[in-house]
Amino acid sequence: IWVCACSTGQEAYSIAIVVNECLKNAGKNIEVKIFATDIDEKSIEIASKNQYPKSIKKEIPTKLFKKYFVEDGNHLSVLPEIRKQVVFAKHDVSKSPPFIKNDMVTCRNMLIYVNTVLQDKILSTFHFSLNPDGYLFLGSSETAHGIKQGLTEISSKWKIFKKSGVINYATFNTYNTQGRVVQADKKKTLSPEAPLTSVEKSFNKFITNDLGYVGVFIDKMYTIQEAVGNYRQFLELPDTKIELNILKMVPKPVSIVLNTALRKSWKELKTVHLTRIRSKKNGEDVYLNISIQPPNEDHPFTMIVFGESMTEIVAENEDHNLSMLAETHHGEYVFELEAELNETRTNLQMAVEEMETTNEELQSSNEELLSANEELQSSNEELQSLNEELHTLNTEHQLKIKELVE
């Protein structure tokens, strides 16, 4: 589930509680993961802390409050099992790539603050991010009229829609995130770019839609800044933590080769091509062609183009010769592994030395404790001896007193 414009988190936690109630009533045990996003970083920080004033208690049904909330000093918090189901992240839905493969997307009372063009773009992004038959939940004053051909209205009162058809994402500029605007040097005067001709638009559409090529733009931290094309056929979100790191959104074998190629491209400032890189798609082996173009004066980001290699007929006796890595990159791949291995060995050696030092300190502390224990035992024996002497002296005093009384 993707909760867009989650503000300080109340909506995300409420949805998590409702989903858990529904699953328990249905007797089902299904893993639930909720991505809650907002453009305001301070709101995300508040939501992540999971601490709300006690005044919200009156807004929560008593039954649900007793079941899902705990009091922590002057604050109220949802139970840890609910908190673990929700992941909060800063995200701009109008610019950043969406979260994909969702069964439900909610965005309540945010679209009313943007213009119609941006509304349609955001709605098409939600449609793109939903699984087939997934649900879209909007605010009471909002509508999905702009993409009505791709949705079926389930409830006009509660603004619940179901993904039931396809839409032309190119019409809404869905794929092009246009996430960053780079300011030109004030000293340079740039002439405006001429708009694309119909032929150029047709060619671009053919490349992305028909041939299935995907362009991804990243910075030097491997973070995706822009994307063009249906990138979810090659990229997936990590299972645990939400990140837009390109190396964590591709399979591990592809990630290793891609990392090596990126470093080479940045170092030599040349375009690098990877051919027939083996990957998995729907459980089957596929081969990818990847091209990397380093940053230049026209664009500050690194462009990575993914494309599926055309199927080729390969003789059975040649099948064993196909390597997961391209032959030309094998040496770099081995070098990368050796570097990581050396780093691991160094870290391990440092850890061993630290453990040895800690062990010596513990032994020294143990000897001091043993010495202190012996001193305490000696002191205890002296106290026992003194106690016996006092007991004897007390007996003698009692006898003297008795004699004096008589």
Question: Regarding predicted confidence, which is higher, 203 or 20?
Answer: 20
Q: How far apart are CA 128 and CA 166, in angstroms?
A: 9
Angle at 26 between CA 23 and CA 32, to 5 degrees: 20
Q: DSSP class of residue 51?
A: -
Q: Which domain holds residue 224?
A: 198-325
Residue 137 domain flag = yes
Tens digits of residue pLDDT in 73-83: 889 999 999 99
Tens digits of residue pLDDT in 234-248: 888 776 666 788 898
Same domain, 130 and 90: yes
Tens digits of residue pLDDT in 387-402: 888 988 888 888 889 8
Tens digits of residue pLDDT in 42-73: 999 999 999 999 999 999 999 999 999 999 88
How many domains is the chain partitioned into structurally?
2
Same domain, 15 and 124: yes
Other Cβ atoms closer than 10 A to 179: 17
Residue 358 domain flag = no
pLDDT of residue 232: 80
Q: DSSP class of residue 201?
A: H
**Cα-Cα-Cα-Cα dihedral sign, residues 22, 27, 28, 32:** positive
Same domain, 50 and 168: yes
Same domain, 139 and 250: no
Residue 348 domain flag = no
Q: DSSP class of residue 224?
A: E
pTM tops 0.75, yes or no: no
For residue 85, which of 165, 24, 181, 1 has the smallest C-alpha distance? 1
How many residues are present in the chain? 406
pLDDT of residue 351: 78
Question: Regarding predicted confidence, which is higher, 333 or 53?
Answer: 53
Q: How far apart are CA 39 and CA 285, in angstroms?
A: 38
| 8 A C-beta contact, residue 15 and residue 1 | yes
Q: DSSP class of residue 300?
A: S
Same domain, 156 and 210: no
Beta bridge partners of 284: 281
Same domain, 163 and 307: no
DSSP per-residue letters across 15-41: HHHHHHHHHHHHT------EEEEES-H
Residue 405 domain flag = no
Q: DSSP class of residue 96?
A: S
Residue 119 domain flag = yes
Given 300, 325, 350, which residue is the final one in a domain?
Answer: 325
Tens digits of residue pLDDT in 283-322: 788 889 999 999 888 788 999 999 988 655 444 444 444 4
Q: How far apart are CA 131 and CA 360, in angstroms?
A: 58
The CA distances from residue 157 to 141, 151, 197, in Å, are 10, 16, 44
Find the mean pLDDT for residues 195-202.
75
Query: Which domain CATH number covers 309?
Result: 3.30.450.20
One-letter amino acid of 256: I
For residue 303, which of 201, 225, 386, 398 has the smallest C-alpha distance? 225
Query: Which domain CATH number covers 85?
Result: 3.40.50.150
Tokens of 221: 């931290």
| 8 A C-beta contact, residue 208 and residue 229 | yes
Residue 401 domain flag = no
Same domain, 166 and 216: no
Same domain, 25 and 114: yes
Same domain, 240 and 152: no
Residue 345 domain flag = no
Same domain, 120 and 13: yes
Same domain, 24 and 168: yes
Given 297, 325, 353, which residue is the final one in a domain?
Answer: 325
Same domain, 9 and 120: yes
Range from 92-96, 198-202, 328-332, 334-338 carrying the lowest mean pLDDT: 328-332
pLDDT of residue 53: 93
Given 172, 189, 223, which residue is the final one in a domain?
Answer: 172
pLDDT of residue 179: 40
| 8 A C-beta contact, residue 6 and residue 88 | yes
| 8 A C-beta contact, residue 262 and residue 254 | no
278 confidence band (pLDDT: 50, 70, 90): confident
Residue 372 domain flag = no
Question: Regarding predicted confidence, which is higher, 150 or 209?
Answer: 150
